[in-house]
Amino acid sequence: MPEGSEQPHRPVRKREKEFGAAAVRRLRIGAGAVLVAGGTAYFLLPLEGLGADRPWLGWPLFVLCLTFVAVLLLRHVRDVVLEKPQARSGIMISLLMCLAVLVFSSGYYALAQLPGQFTGLSTRVDALYFTVVTLATVGYGDITPRGQEARMVTVVQIVYTFVFLTAAATALTRRMHAVVAERERRPPPDAGGPTPGARSGS
């Protein structure tokens, strides 16, 4: 192969690499913005009315949000399993797992407005804390679901964690290992090019 035939391909590969890096940066910024917006909405939206005044709205909204997150999680887990090269599943899986935590926290806080549902849960921070504790299966016992609806949602979270979040965490770990292995196999930037001495001596 002629020596100069490699030269036109280098700018193309460089542009593709820069485009891919820019796409990743945009995705990270977008995911961060969505997460900040979700956290802000969690602390500012009037969730109290969903449990006490509008249960006909709260329950369908809760189920719809969980279903939406589960479908997206399964889609990105599939992309990791199929090893799609253009998939940015690591960022999206992390974002969706955080959104699932916020959805369950919202449900717990709305239920806590009903009498007899929870003991020790009175604020949004309490609901977020209880969600994370349940997710981690720590079980301190300082917040206890007393009512049937609260216990049902707690069981749903445990099953949801086993089915969806565990699969998502496994796929995320697999994706991270693949990225690290790919970077280790990648040659240094100037590894394939001829040295200046060899070019001048030819």
With tokens 């804390």, the residue in question is 129
CB–CB of 169/97 below 8 Å? yes
pTM over 0.75: yes
pLDDT single digits (tens) 52-71? 667 777 889 999 999 999 99
The sign of the CA dihedral 192, 193, 196, 202 is: positive
pLDDT single digits (tens) 148-192? 999 999 999 999 999 999 999 888 888 777 767 776 776 655 555
- Range 8-12 average pLDDT: 54
Supply the mean pLDDT for the chain: 81
Cα angle value 54/55/60 (rounded, 5°): 110
Those residues with Cβ within 8 angstroms of residue 66's Cβ, 6 or more apart along the chain or in another chain:
100, 103, 104, 156, 160
- Whole-angstrom CA distances from 98 to 23, 69, 92, 93, 121 are 22, 10, 10, 9, 20
pLDDT single digits (tens) 18-65? 555 676 778 778 888 988 999 999 999 888 877 666 777 788 999 999
CA atoms within 13 A on the CB side of 43: 8
Q: What's the CA gap between 165 and 96, in Å, rounded?
A: 9
| Burial (CB count <10 Å: 0-12, 13-18, 19+), residue 198 | exposed
Q: What is the pLDDT of residue 98?
A: 94
CA trace torsion 52, 55, 59, 65 (10° rounding)? -70
Q: What is the pLDDT of residue 51?
A: 65
pLDDT single digits (tens) 86-143? 667 778 888 999 999 999 999 999 999 899 999 999 999 999 999 999 999 888 889 9
